[in-house]
Structure 1
Amino acid sequence: MTTIRITSYGTGHDDDPAATDPVVVDTTSLHNPPDDPAVRAQLTQKTGRDIEVARYVMATPGADRLVETAMQQIRDRLGEGRHQVDVHVSCFGGRHRSVAVALELAFRLRVLHAFDGEVHVTHRHIARPILPRRSA
């Protein structure tokens, strides 16, 4: 049986997941609730598991294209005959963007593409405190 392991995480925690040749999805270009004064108070303490946050993140121009690109990379790896595909989805803190995109990928694999294998999702940093931005 083929397994797809999706891991969301925050690069700001300095403990990125390890895997051989993962599909890498960088979500830092997407809208981030803590950075947006218009939604900061309502969404920052929620996570990408919350529908409001997921909708906000996925409404970013280019979000659907980012997910579809990852889906194509997953299909390519599966087409190579792999029995396990690792997908690493990152943002800075690991609570909002990476979680929302990881869940969207899992949904599309399980429901829309009727992937006949196991899809596992792990949110590595979802329960950690929100990270302060690093100064440049």
Structure 2
Amino acid sequence: MSEQTRGEEQAPSPPGGDEVVTIPELVIITGMSGAGRSTAAKCLEDLGWFVVDNLPPALIPTMVDLGARSQGNVARIAVVVDVRGRSFFDSLRESLSDLAAKGVTRRVVFLEASDNALVQRFESVRRPHPLQGDGRIVDGIAAERDLLRELRGDADLVIDTSNLNVHELRAKMDAQFTSGDEPELRATVMSFGYKYGLPVDADHVVDCRFLPNPHWVPELRPYTGTSEEVAGYVFNQPGAKEFLDRYAELLQLIAGGYRREGKRYVTIAVGCTGGKHRSVAMSERLARRLAAEGIETVVVHRDMGRE
């Protein structure tokens, strides 16, 4: 998003002055320690954003005011907020309310990961969790989850990095923030297998296990839901096409509400038992429907390559 017109507003000049004040776009990067906040911030920095790490939340409005008076030189600001500044953390909601009153376009990106993934990352670098104190790493993780619970619920975009490497996380950030003409709503349609767990960053979860499983058809078992053979089998089952039609209609209704509320990102998780056949086929068709409605859509098959 290299343009300076999206997400910016011209604020009135001070009385008696000729200063041009352009309100910058703001992204707040937060989430679990070890989940990839630094990588996400570095990605935005590479895209031309002015990034500030560990800024006390109370100073965010001041930073935005300074950017507004930079004559357009600081049009996009990303601020990393985490538990290192926990003594200031309670003021974050007040700061966000202040920004909303000033007409600042702001988004909250929350980086999430499973407990197992976070423990492995902290152990691999031989560093303690910032909140564990004299306890274990898992104690620090639990305390941080509790501290960030409400903020996660208010986030505009939640990214689960449990199974992502650095390059995959950067690709996700690029997909969300690179576009020159940002769409009103972006959707990620993710297929998954229930036996591997629910995606924690899903806004909506769809269960396709009511359809017969192609896994039990010997000639279809080696294929995935991206093949015509499996997709044809899935959508020839009673209720499959009707389910797709009605759920796509429901998402159109929801998308209208998201646009009115200013929500820009939605993740739809489509699950079956193993995440290889039914959920993949349904995700592909659902993504086509959303794209036809003008929603920029990315398809991710989380578990398709697993045995």
TM-score between both structures, scaled by the size of structure 2: 0.38
SS at match of 2:219: helix
Partner of residue 29, structure 1 = 210
Partner of residue 133, structure 1 = none
Which residues of 2 match residues 105-124 of structure 1 at below 5 A? Answer: 105-110=286-291, 114-124=292-302
Decide which of 194, 203, 213 is 1:11's aligned counterpart: 194
SS at match of 1:116: coil
Question: 1:77, 1:85 within 8 Å by CA — same for their partners in 2?
Answer: no
Which of the pair has the greater relative contact order for Cα pairs under 8 Å at 6+ separation? Answer: 1
1:41 is displaced (CA, Å) by: 2.1
TM-score between both structures, scaled by the size of structure 1: 0.81
Please list the CA deviations of residues 69-99 of structure 1 after superposition, one character each: whole Å capped at 9, or x if unmatched: 2212211221112322221100000000000
What amino acid sits opposite 1:85 in the alignment?
A: V
Decide which of 96, 100, 106 is 2:277's aligned counterpart: 96
More helix by share: 2
Partner of residue 246, structure 2 = 69
| Structure 2: gaps of 5 or more residues | 1-182
What amino acid sits opposite 1:86 in the alignment?
A: T
Decide which of 104, 117, 128 is 2:306's aligned counterpart: 128
What amino acid sits opposite 1:120 in the alignment?
A: V
The size of the alignment, in residue pairs, is 120
Question: 1:10, 1:92 within 8 Å by CA — same for their partners in 2?
Answer: yes
Please list the CA deviations of residues 83-123 of structure 1 after superposition, one character each: whole Å capped at 9, or x if unmatched: 2222110000000000000001012222xxx3223100000
Structure index of larger Rg: 2
In the alignment, the residues of structure 2 paired with residue 10 and residue 91 of structure 1 have an alpha-carbon distance, to the nearest angstrom, of: 5
What amino acid sits opposite 2:288 in the alignment?
A: F
Question: 2:190, 2:270 within 8 Å by CA — same for their partners in 1?
Answer: yes
Question: 1:3, 1:117 within 8 Å by CA — same for their partners in 2?
Answer: yes
In the alignment, the residues of structure 2 paired with residue 72 and residue 83 of structure 1 have an alpha-carbon distance, to the nearest angstrom, of: 19
Percent identity of paired positions between Structure 1 and Structure 2 = 34
| Structure 1: gaps of 5 or more residues | 130-136
1:51 is displaced (CA, Å) by: 0.4
> What do you get for the CA RMSD once the two structures are aligned?
1.4
In the alignment, the residues of structure 1 paired with residue 196 and residue 255 of structure 2 have an alpha-carbon distance, to the nearest angstrom, of: 30
Partner of residue 132, structure 1 = none
SS at match of 2:253: helix
What amino acid sits opposite 2:298 in the alignment?
A: H
In the alignment, the residues of structure 2 paired with residue 75 and residue 93 of structure 1 have an alpha-carbon distance, to the nearest angstrom, of: 28
Please list the CA deviations of residues 20-54 of structure 1 after superposition, one character each: whole Å capped at 9, or x if unmatched: 6x23211001121123xxxx221101000010000
Of 5-14 and 22-31, the range deviating more from structure 2: 22-31
